[in-house]
Amino acid sequence: MKRVSIDTTYRVAQGTVRLSITIGDAQIGGSVVHLGDRELAIGDISNLTIGTGSALKGQTLSIKSVVTDTNDATNRTSVSYRLTGGKTDQSFSQTATVDEDGDSVVYRATVSLT
């Protein structure tokens, strides 16, 4: 099973920080989101409230997504992340191509909240 990871930072502000995750390329997948040691959500993530800026500063958001290749037209997989409510909205994505039809990719994202 392939593994892909990314480390990034997100500058919080006074507002409520939210996270959305999109599994791309017509593949299927799900995610688990942790803030520090606390699990926030499992499954499809859309507009998940992470918390308020001042309370989040200095914490780490950890995301694990598993994407399985089910699209017969391509072996490409991707995950896109969107954070809102901080100093500026931020999007980032990861891609990987599986070797065989039906294979899965484990995506990990670590976001330092500053």
The C-alpha R_g of the chain, in whole angstroms, comes to: 14
Domain boundaries, the chain: 2-113
Is the pTM higher than 0.85? The answer reads yes
With beta carbons less than 8 A apart as the criterion, state whether 47 and 20 touch: yes
Kindly state the tokens that stand for 10. Answer: 């997100």
What are the angstrom distances between the C-alpha of 26 and each of 4, 41, 84, 88?
19, 22, 24, 29
pLDDT score recorded for residue 102: 97
pLDDT score recorded for residue 66: 98
Mean pLDDT by 10 residues, the chain (114 residues): 97 97 98 98 98 95 98 98 97 97 98 98
What are the angstrom distances between the C-alpha of 86 and each of 3, 13, 60, 64, 80?
28, 5, 14, 22, 18
